[in-house]
Amino acid sequence: MEKKFANLIIQLKKGDITKQPDIDAIVNAANAELKIGGGVAGAIHRAGDPELERETRPLAPISPGEAVITNAPGLPNKHVIHCLGPVFGRDEPSNRLLADCYRNALKCAEDKTLSSVAFPAISTGAFGFPMQGAAKIALETVKNEVEFLHTVQLVRFVLFGDKAYNIHSEELQEL
Ligand code: AR6
């Protein structure tokens, strides 16, 4: 499903973040060291070229809420934006840090004048953030950035499985 807010389309899709060839930048739910890791980070680094990890090295470590951008060697996208989400129950205030991820990732995309960005549900896997709370923060934050976006026109949430998709759909309908 999708919904339009001024010039921005927010779209939900079930699938794999590494298989979004029509999107300029995919977002990595990274670890602080920007190493290969598990979950989304593992999938992106495995799908990409080893050069991707080499590109991230001088940018690490990053803090919760921060985002950095690299090229996307071996991937069908122009860039990867690496975000460190908060570990739920440890990195506080976790709501604000999660919102910072989305804002800072969009800033990276705007700096490169990109028009489309795909996000996974940051922090909802290994970092333990409850899906519904995370979905609400993610969608509200992106919607509230609309007035500051000049080049980004499409934000896609790529959701792994029915549960994540359904929760995001409910939250997007309510926005
Ligand atoms: N495409 C889309 N979504 C995915 C994919 C995929 N290929 N794989 C998993 N998900 P996680 P985090 C979903 O753990 O919670 C790593 O080990 C997954 O079901 O990747 O921010 C890093 O190295 C979940 O809903 O990210 C870090 O140490 C969501 O994406 C740590 O995990 C995020 O899951 C980051 O933890």
Q: Quick count: other Cβ atoms within 10 Å of Cβ 70?
A: 23
What's the pTM value of the predicted model, to 2 decimals?
A: 0.98
The kind and range of the H/E element at 49 are none
pLDDT the model gives residue 129: 98
Question: 87-100 pLDDT, tens per residue?
Answer: 999 999 999 999 99
pLDDT the model gives residue 134: 98
Nearest CA to ligand 1 atom 17: 38
Pocket of ligand 1 (CB under 6 A): 16-18, 29, 31, 37-41, 43, 85, 120-127, 158, 160, 164
Domain ranges of the chain: 2-174
Question: 17-32 pLDDT, tens per residue?
Answer: 999 999 999 999 999 9
**Of 151, 159, 64, which Cα lies nearest the Cα of 168?**
159
pLDDT the model gives residue 42: 97
Return the best residue to mutate from 12, 14, 40, 117 for the ligand 1 pocket (most ligand atoms within 8 A of CB). Answer: 40
Query: What span, in angstroms and rounded, lies between the C-alpha atoms of 116 and 110?
Result: 10
Alpha helices in 57-152 (DSSP H): 94-111, 131-144
Cα 41 to ligand 1 centroid, rounded to whole Å: 7
Cα 40 to ligand 1 centroid, rounded to whole Å: 4
The hierarchical CATH code for the domain 2-174 is 3.40.220.10
**Of 70, 65, 108, 59, which Cα lies nearest the Cα of 83?**
65
Residues of the chain with pLDDT under 70: none
pLDDT the model gives residue 35: 94
Query: What span, in angstroms and rounded, lies between the C-alpha atoms of 89 and 33?
Result: 20
Mean pLDDT of the chain: 97
- What residues contact 127, with CB distance under 8 A and at least 6 apart? 29, 85, 86, 87, 88
